[in-house]
Structures are given as C-alpha cells and as structure tokens.
C-alpha cells in the first residue's frame, strides 16, 4: 500500500510518497522505496520529481542555508545539476532543470521567510524516523577563511592594497622629480673636505719636535727610559 508523508510550514508543503521495503523487513509505517515527491511553495508552480531530484534539492538547499547563517551566501548547484540556488539581492533564486530536452528551467524567486520554511520542511523530512531512506545530505562544516572573507565587499577588501600601491607610486614619482646633484657641484666640496684633513705624517712633520699638542701619544722607543 502506498504511503504519503507530509511536512508543512506556512508557505511550503512537501509531500513524499513511497512504499515500505519489505525485503529489508520494514514495517507498514515506514517508507523505504520512494515513488515520488511534490513541493508546493505558496504562489509558485508545484514541483514534482523522483528521488534523485529530491537528493539534488537537499544537496543545494542545506549548504546554502549553512552559508547564509554565517552571512556568506554563494551559489550552489552547477550548470549540470538539476537544482541550483543563487542569492539575488534580498531574495533567493531557485532554478530547477528538467531532465527532458528542450525544456527551459523553472525559476522561482523566494524571500527569506519562504527559504526558512523550505529548510524547515527539508529538516523535518531528514529527521523523520518513518522515512527509512539513505538520503545523501551534506554534513555542515565550519567555513574556510577565504569563504568568510567574501562577506566584506570587494571595494573594502581592495581599498588597503590599492591605497598602498598608490602611495608607493606617488612616492616614486616625487623622487623622480627631485633634481639629481651635478658632478661639478660635488667636486669642490670633496676637495675642501680633503684639504681640511691632512695626512698623519704631514701633521707630524709640521709639529715642532717636543711640542705638546693634541696629537697621538708618542710611541716610546724600546730601551729608552722616561723621566
């Protein structure tokens, strides 16, 4: 006998239909074989699908909610995935792609409250002991630093490096505009400095023998005694 499990929130109703898997000894109340599911979001087209579509929905909605809690929303579901969800301003764009060719994807725009309802319905489904299906749901994990850095707007993230590069460029330009000293103006200064300092032997020669002065102390000659 076909069983129907229903999970409801204010704007969302998820219905799962299936049968107990008697080959694994499941009781009459359990659903072990999923035959179909439907999702009705208030004011939107009702969605229907198979088990793989439900799993794809769980695979994108749970991590999306996880990122939203940390304030770092990002797209989940690539171009080949049957379900994708994108942040779009204050709303969220849920895209459902049909497996049949030439069928355009169905796009639903939902607000924060409708998303929270959907997450709660999917939580109820995941935690329902009557649903004995090994549904693949991603494990919540702490985000990486790189993912959290995206919370800060790009302009604010780039402001410091741009200011640094601009300051370096400005300092370089100013240093290039400074006039370089000419070689002729440097030579006399060097000559006058050289003339002010006389070699030690010259100073010794100009000093009268035995005169006291601020020169270096005379080295005593070996064998000579001082009085």
Partner 1 sequence: MADVSPALSRPTPLPRRGLERLDLMLLCAEALDLNGGEAMVWMSEQLGFQSLFPNRVELWKRRCHNPLRRTTRRGQLQVEDTDALIRILTSMAERLYPMLRQLLSAAEPEAVSEQRWALFRSRLQELIQERLNLRRVGVRKLLDPIEGPQLCHQLILSLALSAGTGGVERLKASLLDPEA
CA 115, CA 61: separation in Å to the nearest integer? Answer: 9
Q: Please answer whether residues 84 and 76 qualify as being in contact, where contact means their C-beta atoms are separated by less than 8 angstroms.
A: yes
Residue 135 found at the interface with partner 1 (CB under 8 A):
no
Token pair, residue 109, equals 């725009």
Element spanning 162, H or E: helix 154-177
Residues 78-117 that bind partner 1 (CB under 8 A): 90-91, 111-117
Q: For the window 49-68, what string marks contact with partner 1 as x by the rule CB under 8 A?
A: -------------x--xx-x
Residues 184-223 that bind partner 1 (CB under 8 A): none
Residue 119 found at the interface with partner 1 (CB under 8 A):
yes
Question: Is the Cβ of residue 145 or residue 193 nearer to partner 1 in the bound state?
Answer: 145
Question: Is the Cβ of residue 90 or residue 210 nearer to partner 1 in the bound state?
Answer: 90
Residue 126 found at the interface with partner 1 (CB under 8 A):
yes
CA 85, CA 94: separation in Å to the nearest integer? Answer: 5
Token pair, residue 7, equals 């999970």
Q: Please answer whether residues 104 and 115 qualify as being in contact, where contact means their C-beta atoms are separated by less than 8 angstroms.
A: no
The least distance separating partner 1 from the CB of residue 34, rounded to whole angstroms, comes to: 20
Residue 141 found at the interface with partner 1 (CB under 8 A):
yes
Token pair, residue 152, equals 């800060």
Nearest to 215 by CA among 226, 227, 206: 206
Binding residues for partner 1 (CB under 8 A): 10, 62, 65-66, 68-71, 90-91, 111-117, 119-120, 122-124, 126-127, 139-145, 148-149, 151-152
């Amino acid at each position: 006998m076909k069983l129907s499990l229903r999970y409801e929130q204010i704007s969302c109703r998820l219905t799962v239909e299936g049968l107990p898997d008697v080959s694994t000894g499941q009781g009459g109340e359990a659903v072990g074989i999923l035959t179909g599911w439907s999702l009705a979001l208030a004011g939107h087209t009702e969605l229907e699908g198979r088990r793989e579509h439900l799993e794809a929905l769980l695979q994108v909605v749970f991590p999306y909610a996880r990122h939203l809690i940390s304030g770092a929303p990002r797209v989940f579901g690539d171009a080949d995935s049957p379900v994708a969800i994108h942040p779009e301003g204050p709303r969220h764009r849920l895209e459902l792609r049909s497996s049949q060719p030439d069928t355009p994807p169905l796009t639903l725009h939902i607000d924060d409250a409708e998303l929270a309802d959907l997450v709660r319905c999917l939580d109820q489904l995941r935690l329902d002991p009557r649903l004995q299906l090994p549904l693949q749901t991603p494990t919540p994990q702490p985000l990486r630093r790189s993912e959290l850095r995206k919370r800060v707007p790009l302009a604010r993230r780039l402001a410091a490096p741009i200011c640094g590069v601009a300051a370096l460029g400005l300092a370089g330009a100013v240093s290039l505009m400074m006039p370089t000293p000419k070689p002729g103006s440097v030579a006399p200064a060097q000559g006058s400095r050289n003339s002010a300092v006389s070699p030690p032997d010259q100073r010794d020669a100009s000093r009268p023998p035995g005169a006291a002065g601020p020169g270096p102390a005379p080295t005593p000659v070996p064998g000579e005694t001082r009085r």
